[in-house]
Amino acid sequence: MSAEFLIAETESFEKLIQKAPLHALYRKISEYIYPQLRHNPFFGPNIKKLKGDFSSIYRYRIGRYRLFYSIDGTKSLIFIITLKARKDSYR
């Protein structure tokens, strides 16, 4: 994979991340996780592709949180969908 991916955050994700507990986590996401995703959003120790109805979505594990995103490979674009606590993620 030679080209790096661009990252686009959905409006709902941007609103969600402004909440106090998640705002502190956003720094870690932007400084450490986004660079990893730009390089290779498909594989990594914390990355899994979801199954079933959500097979086009990936999740990145961040402690007790899960960052969900989808990938448009033709445009080299990653859409950040949401960030949820693990206990609420799969309901």
CATH number, residue 44: 3.30.2310.20
User: Is 37 inside any structural domain?
Assistant: yes
Condensed to tens digits (0 to 9), the pLDDT of residues 1-60 reads 457 999 999 999 999 998 878 888 898 999 999 999 999 999 999 999 999 999 999 999
User: Is 1 inside any structural domain?
Assistant: no
User: Is 91 inside any structural domain?
Assistant: no
Give the residue from 33, 45, 26, 23 showing the smallest Cα distance to 78: 33
**Mean local confidence (pLDDT), 73-83:** 93
Number of domain units in the chain: 1
Concatenate the DSSP letters of all residues of 28-50 into one string. Answer: HIIIIIHHHHHH-SS-STTEEE-
Per DSSP, the three-state class of 49 is strand
pTM here?
A: 0.89
Q: pLDDT band at residue 73, thresholds of 50, 70 and 90?
A: confident
pLDDT of residue 88: 84
Q: Which uninterrupted H or E stretch holds 48?
A: strand 47-49
Asked if the model's pLDDT at residue 68 lies above 90, the reply is: yes
- Range of 53's domain? 6-86
